[in-house]
Amino acid sequence: MTSVASARRDRLAPVLMRIVALIAALAFFGLLPFPQPANAQDILLAMINIMDEAGAQFAFPAQLEYSAADLPIDDEKRVAAENRVNAWRDEENLPFPDFSQIDKLALNNTHAYPPRGSAQYRETEPDPTSAEARATLEKVRWSLPWKKGA
């Protein structure tokens, strides 16, 4: 295709506005690139909802100084977050710097995507095996073949 034809095609293409990034949030959480760019906006919107439920607040670059008094912390969400972290600490199961393999398997496919109401939505059945059983299967799958009996 020639550059003129390409320019004409681009000029005739519909203009869509999309959320393309949450730079600070992505850098902070160290997310990997999205599997499909078409899903990026949905994933970012889901992240915003999850972070809002957790009580996180966003500050955006501006010629303005944000004060803590401008954005008061929701005490109910703060207490809930503190209790959750204290429970992890008491169970000696803090997910930092990384989740355990069992937790990763338990979290796999827990977020419905595409969301209910989407044209592409379809019901999924939950996996009948427990996270511990799947972790054992993963361990067997990745174990060395000559150590099967050990």
Given a contact cutoff of 8 angstroms between Cβ atoms, the answer to whether 75 and 82 are in contact is: no
Residue 39 and residue 120: Cα distance in Å, rounded?
12
Give me the pLDDT at residue 79, please: 92
Q: In the 8-state DSSP scheme, what is residue 149?
A: T
Give me the pLDDT at residue 109, please: 74
pLDDT one-digit tens code per residue, 14-48: 444 455 555 554 444 445 544 555 676 777 778 78
pLDDT one-digit tens code per residue, 66-117: 676 767 788 898 899 899 999 989 988 888 777 777 877 777 777 777 777 8
Give me the pLDDT at residue 143, please: 55
Count Cα atoms within 13 angstroms, Cβ side, for 35.
3
- The arithmetic mean of pLDDT across residues 46-53, rounded, is 81
Residue 129 and residue 61: Cα distance in Å, rounded?
46
Residue 146 and residue 150: Cα distance in Å, rounded?
9
Give me the pLDDT at residue 102, please: 80
- pLDDT reading at 136 higher than 60: yes
Range of 1-5, 11-15, 70-74 with top mean pLDDT? 70-74
Given a contact cutoff of 8 angstroms between Cβ atoms, the answer to whether 135 and 101 are in contact is: yes
Count Cα atoms within 13 angstroms, Cβ side, for 37.
2
pTM: 0.39
Given a contact cutoff of 8 angstroms between Cβ atoms, the answer to whether 73 and 55 are in contact is: yes
Q: Could you state, in order of their start, the residue ranges of all structural domains in the chain?
A: 35-56+75-94, 100-144
Give me the pLDDT at residue 30, please: 46
